[in-house]
Structure 1
Amino acid sequence: MLMGAAGRRAVLCSSGECGGGHAGKMGRLVLGEMLMPLSAIPAESVEHGEVFTRRWIVDLILDLAGYTADRDLAALVAVEPASGEGAFLAAMAARVSASCRKHDRSLLDAKHAVRAFDLLAPNVAASRRLARDVFVEDGWPLPEAREVATAWVRQGDYLLDTHVDSGVDLVVGNPPYVRLEDVPADRMLAYRAACPTMTGRSDLYVGFYERGLRSLKPGGALAFICADRWMRNQYGRQLRELIVAGYSVDVTVTMHDVDAFEEQVSAYPAITVLRRAPQGAAVVADARRGFTAPDAPELLEWVADRESRPRADDRYEIARLPHWFDGGDSWPAGSPSRLALIEDLNDRFPPLQDAATGTRVGIGVATGADSVFITTGADVEPGQLLPLSMVRDTTSGTLRWSGHYLVNPWNADGQLVNLDALPRLQAYYQRHAAALKRRHVAGKQPAHWYRTIDKVDHSLVERPKLLFPDMKNAIHPVLDEGGFYPHHNLYYIISATWDLRVLGGLLLSRVAQAFVEAYAVRMRGGTLRFQAQYLRRIRVPRPEAISAADRAALATAFDKRDSRAATEVALRVYGIDKPGDLIDGPAGVRGGNP
């Protein structure tokens, strides 16, 4: 558990469930009733996993956020929501001191320029001492230094503190990394009430993002170094929706392999700068293992120059996207060149699932009891045995039916059959009644105890469809020319417009693979989950926009299972001149019309 990168701020919000500073009148009333009796977070929980951010990383974050001494920092309001022992606070104090001298101000003018929080009294005292010492070493009188440092740091829970309000220019730091289930139940409920984005098995840092964002004035920025899993995990959905609805993503710097902390941790950190402003261009960088303090000024110079061209070396790769990605669905992951490619294709081409082409992505039938419903032969009425395609049937790239059937309880109208009219089927189900009735779906509908979880759409059987195994290292479309119903471990694509061999060629290419890799969950060993939600996000050209020669070439590549040939044609069809890390070659993409 990583409590905070700035030091022992670990449990400032020991739950990570806050979110917006304002929960509404009813939310405040509920919170008011809850705050007084809240269980304290055990000190050992607060101290567990304390991690300190290296000073050069702190300086990089403050620079990216624009918190620099040339600005009149005494006139701004900056918040450090989890100060710990003061790693961020020390750097902020140094910059405020320099700014006061530059703008001919007294240090006392900056008495309200910073608001820092921590749950633990020893951390508050340590942070105040550190800020005071920075001021004194810079030549300010001790009484003024002590007064300002004392005013800056308060003991409190940032996620619940009533003094956190709007009108903030900057929220900066490294929020605690604490799983919600590790927080006392009553405090967890308080956090959830205060921070609506904290859903499911969330982490405390989600609440810090929400409350920090809601406190910003127009143009204000939030700059955190934090685990980046919220950008893709389910528990980050509402936070992503909040950001897309009213904020912009200015900069993300992935630092998974960078020595950013004073000790080794497995936190998948990234620097993220968000702003309360309309979305504009977004800088995406991937700092690699070789990225160290001397590289930070170079990265900052690249960010400041709006005309900078994408670059990549063994230290970092960086690119500027015209805008960020829409919606609350998981945001893509990958190198900057890969993200630039995906954004370009998102802008130029429609999604695979498209009403205009009658193309739809779905999943096969889930039964809840495969050992009963799936068979190679059962003594039931022949009309109730539905040929079923299985993952094993797709292994070779050509559908080779293994002889499995679904013992089908549905009629062609999508209604459950009357078992009294089908005595052999009734007898078969009765022999397995105990197992079928134990299922959740049967418990919800006792009269329908013999149903499968999903209904069967009989119209799907004879339609040609592309099948995709749910777990595979590489995208693996297989054509079912009709006659089979897919099992739930298979996803399928049907279309009213596409020649499925042509579409299969496109989906066999590295372009389609790039989309799935960017969005999909990767299991141990590199296996990808090819789920419908990820397949739907693949972008494809209109079928009529592909030349006859390219259609033929894609169909041939699909028939031969030739991914390289499919990729060569796909690059031409998509108008990609420089495929970046799709295949060997420099990064970059070329625009064009779909």
Structure 2
Amino acid sequence: MLTEPGGSLTDTPPNAGTVPVQYGEVFTRRWIVELILDLCGYSVDTDLTARRLVEPAIGSGAFLMPVLDRLLEAKEKHSPDRPWDELLPAILAMDVQPRHVRTCRRLVAGRLTRSGCPAETANRLATAWVREGDFLLDRVAGGVDYVVGNPPYIRIEDVAPGLLAAYRRTCPTMGGRADIYIGFFERGLDLLDEGGTLAFICADRWMRNQYGRRLREKIVEGGFAVDSCLVMHDVAAFENEVSAYPAITVLKRAPQGEVGIGEAGESFDSKAAADFAAWSNLRARGPLHGATVSGSRLPHWHRTADSWPDGTPEVLAWLEELQDRHPPLEDRGAGTRIGIGVATGADAVYITRDAEAAEPERMLPLAMSADVKSGTYAWTGHYLVNPWDEDGLVDLDEWPRLSEYLSRNATAVLRRSISKRSPASWFRTIDRVTSSLTEQPKLLLEDMKRQPNPVLEPGGHYPHHNLYYLVSQKWDLEALGGLLLSEVVERQISAYCVKMRGKTLRFQAQYLRRVHAPRPEQISASVAEELVVAFRTRDRAAATAAALRAYGMNSLP
């Protein structure tokens, strides 16, 4: 189907509609391919002539040719007299682009003939092995031993609507904002025979993002197991430079057992790759401490479809201990709630510094990300032109200045999909404004930061969509702010969230809700005061020291 992630060219396959599909054209380095084949057990020590392998997106043959080399070496070792035609089931390699199919058929036929295969048979095998087709839609026989490759990382906006709908019908895990590669995982897993292995190098976002939940659920509940995972965010794994946040993930159709996890550094190379493969395949109990790669073995994998945390066995054990000892940060018992500010769909209209844009009652002071940059709240004078009151949407006839303002900007407002779906309420913001939130003191956090930066908004301002907030009935918000400032909470967020380039963390509600913390009444007055002082002075070291005491811990893992 679609080839590897990264740069793209535009092409339109049959029945794709009028929107062109983006085809990634970034090719995996040979030694990375060899590592993937090692990790999934596609080894010449096995009689590969009796195994079936599928590669769903061949591109120019970055995976296919190393696979063929190993198959031929295994034939020579295990069954040199086996007729060439009996290799027919050994490989199926697919792509939607005819030029890739033609190129790879030539490469395969040439490689076979150099190994002594008669030319006619070589052409027949090449034609059978390399197929033009769409892996997500075409029928492929199951009972496969290996599915390997580099599935596409293509945003759904770049796929024709009709084609995307077809993909979602055949791949139920591709819900919401799921990218195309989610479907490749699903179809690949479905093809596996008992004991079969899937090994992809692909973005690892699905392990933590909401759109990966259905795929995680399929793995946890569908008889599959995570065998190993090597995170390679800073590794030059492809011939061209791309920002794909890749990881090598090896999955099996088998009961879940131990898992080998690793992280590769920027200087990770072919020698380090061989070291990691040897460590992983030996099922070594001890950790791997290489100059550019580290590895640890987990006794089990995560048992739920919630976002899968990232970390060493020590960190994962620590997270489980926190879950056993402390409630979630969003705790009904403490009256603590986590949320996100208002989304408008047309900020240029609804957000203004003109306090006279509409009636004073309709001008809501708005907290923006710029207001919290310094670590203390400093309002920059933005307002939300607010079409809501306590009872719902206001009657525009009762607010002539608001009505005139929105009518003057109607073109931009009506362009939004929410206005098109609900013409009677065309002037609403995407999110409803909850008036009671405005006067509540709240802790505000920006989404993307290297470290947590909680800021206390004392009340009177409503948060914008680019800010997440915490309110609580029982917490002293400055003490809670000190806890959030600490490395104890940062470590939890880091384990659960999707990390951006440069180790930037995401402080979204879905990750904040995974944080576990002691209830306020369990924290002594002296420790609570230490948290307050650390929060006021923005002293992360002091906040961490106080947080450790609050959690009853001596140190972090």
Using structure 2 for the length normalisation, give the TM-score.
Answer: 0.77
Instruction: Give the aligned residue type for 1:345.
Output: L
Deviations 1:347-399 (A, max 9, x none): 63243223343321112344556766766755988766666545454444344
CA 1:130–1:83: 2 relative to 1, 3 Å: farther
Match of 1:127 in 2: 108
Match of 1:31 in 2: none
Match of 2:315 in 1: 341
Q: What do you get for the CA RMSD once the two structures are aligned?
A: 4.5
Work out whether 1:218 is the aligned partner of 2:191.
no
1:521 CA drift (Å):
6.5
In the aligned structure 2, how far is the partner of 1:408 from the partner of 1:531? 24
Q: 2:39 aligns with which of 48, 53, 64?
A: 64
* SS of equivalent to 1:556: helix
In the aligned structure 1, how far is the partner of 2:421 from the partner of 2:156? 30
In the aligned structure 1, how far is the partner of 2:524 from the partner of 2:76? 67
Match of 1:22 in 2: none
In the aligned structure 1, how far is the partner of 2:26 from the partner of 2:396? 63
Q: 1:434 aligns with which of 403, 407, 416?
A: 407
Structure 1 contact 129–149 (Cα < 8 Å) conserved: no
1:252 CA drift (Å):
1.8
Structure 2 contact 52–89 (Cα < 8 Å) conserved: yes
Match of 1:3 in 2: 3
In the aligned structure 2, how far is the partner of 1:484 from the partner of 1:179? 36
Higher alpha-carbon deviation: 277-286 or 370-379: 370-379
* SS of equivalent to 2:335: coil
Structure 2 contact 227–258 (Cα < 8 Å) conserved: yes
CA 1:432–1:475: 2 relative to 1, 3 Å: same
1:123 CA drift (Å):
1.6
1:164 CA drift (Å):
1.2
Match of 1:457 in 2: 434
Higher alpha-carbon deviation: 96-105 or 264-273: 96-105
Match of 2:131 in 1: 155
Percent of pairs with identical residues = 46
Structure 1 contact 437–443 (Cα < 8 Å) conserved: no
Structure 2 contact 49–90 (Cα < 8 Å) conserved: yes
1:226 CA drift (Å):
3.3
CA 1:558–1:519: 2 relative to 1, 3 Å: same
CA 1:144–1:344: 2 relative to 1, 3 Å: farther
In the aligned structure 1, how far is the partner of 2:228 from the partner of 2:27? 23
Deviations 1:115-136 (A, max 9, x none): 33455234223213324534x4
CA 1:572–1:166: 2 relative to 1, 3 Å: farther
1:443 CA drift (Å):
5.9
In the aligned structure 2, how far is the partner of 1:450 from the partner of 1:186? 31
Higher alpha-carbon deviation: 359-368 or 101-110: 101-110
Unaligned regions of 5+ residues in structure 1, if any?
16-34, 580-588, 590-594
1:261 CA drift (Å):
4.7
Match of 1:81 in 2: 56
Match of 1:29 in 2: none
In the aligned structure 2, how far is the partner of 1:487 from the partner of 1:467? 10
Match of 1:466 in 2: 443
Q: 1:251 aligns with which of 209, 215, 228?
A: 228
In the aligned structure 2, how far is the partner of 1:147 from the partner of 1:386? 72
Deviations 1:181-238 (A, max 9, x none): 6677776665555444456776654443222111112321101223445556676555
Q: 2:82 aligns with which of 103, 107, 115?
A: 107
Work out whether 1:513 is the aligned partner of 2:490.
yes
Aligned pairs for 1:185-584 (under 5 A) are 191-198=167-174, 204-231=180-207, 238-246=214-222, 247-261=224-238, 267-306=244-283, 308-325=285-302, 336-337=311-312, 341=315, 344-345=318-319, 348-349=322-323, 350-366=327-343, 368=346, 378=356, 388-400=366-378, 409-412=387-390, 414-417=391-394, 426-435=399-408, 437-438=410-411, 439-440=413-414, 448=425, 451-470=428-447, 472-517=449-494, 530-574=507-551, 579=556
CA 1:151–1:352: 2 relative to 1, 3 Å: same
Higher alpha-carbon deviation: 62-71 or 398-407: 398-407
Structure 1 contact 86–130 (Cα < 8 Å) conserved: no
1:64 CA drift (Å):
1.0
In the aligned structure 1, how far is the partner of 2:403 from the partner of 2:32? 66
Structure 1 contact 462–484 (Cα < 8 Å) conserved: yes
* SS of equivalent to 2:3: coil
In the aligned structure 2, how far is the partner of 1:234 from the partner of 1:252? 20
* SS of equivalent to 1:107: coil
CA 1:429–1:101: 2 relative to 1, 3 Å: closer
* SS of equivalent to 1:218: strand
1:536 CA drift (Å):
2.4
* SS of equivalent to 1:116: strand
CA 1:226–1:129: 2 relative to 1, 3 Å: farther
1:273 CA drift (Å):
0.7
Structure 2 contact 364–384 (Cα < 8 Å) conserved: yes
1:94 CA drift (Å):
4.8
In the aligned structure 2, how far is the partner of 1:462 from the partner of 1:91? 64
Structure 1 contact 358–497 (Cα < 8 Å) conserved: yes
Count of matched residue pairs: 537
Using structure 1 for the length normalisation, give the TM-score.
Answer: 0.73
* SS of equivalent to 2:392: coil
1:508 CA drift (Å):
0.6
Structure 2 contact 279–288 (Cα < 8 Å) conserved: no
CA 1:168–1:577: 2 relative to 1, 3 Å: farther
Structure 1 contact 2–50 (Cα < 8 Å) conserved: no
1:493 CA drift (Å):
0.8
In the aligned structure 2, how far is the partner of 1:307 from the partner of 1:121? 43
CA 1:325–1:87: 2 relative to 1, 3 Å: same
1:478 CA drift (Å):
2.2
In the aligned structure 2, how far is the partner of 1:89 from the partner of 1:366? 47
1:97 CA drift (Å):
5.0
Structure 1 contact 168–216 (Cα < 8 Å) conserved: yes
1:269 CA drift (Å):
3.6
CA 1:431–1:178: 2 relative to 1, 3 Å: closer
In the aligned structure 2, how far is the partner of 1:416 from the partner of 1:83? 54
Higher alpha-carbon deviation: 392-401 or 211-220: 392-401
Deviations 1:20-78 (A, max 9, x none): xxxxxxxxxxxxxxx9x64799xx998x8363531x33332122112233334344322
Deviations 1:541-591 (A, max 9, x none): 344554454333222212322111112233454566664xxxxxxxxx2xx
Structure 2 contact 351–382 (Cα < 8 Å) conserved: no
In the aligned structure 1, how far is the partner of 2:350 from the partner of 2:161? 41
In the aligned structure 2, how far is the partner of 1:40 from the partner of 1:480? 50
Instruction: Give the aligned residue type for 1:173.
Output: G
In the aligned structure 2, how far is the partner of 1:177 from the partner of 1:515? 28
In the aligned structure 2, how far is the partner of 1:290 from the partner of 1:435? 57
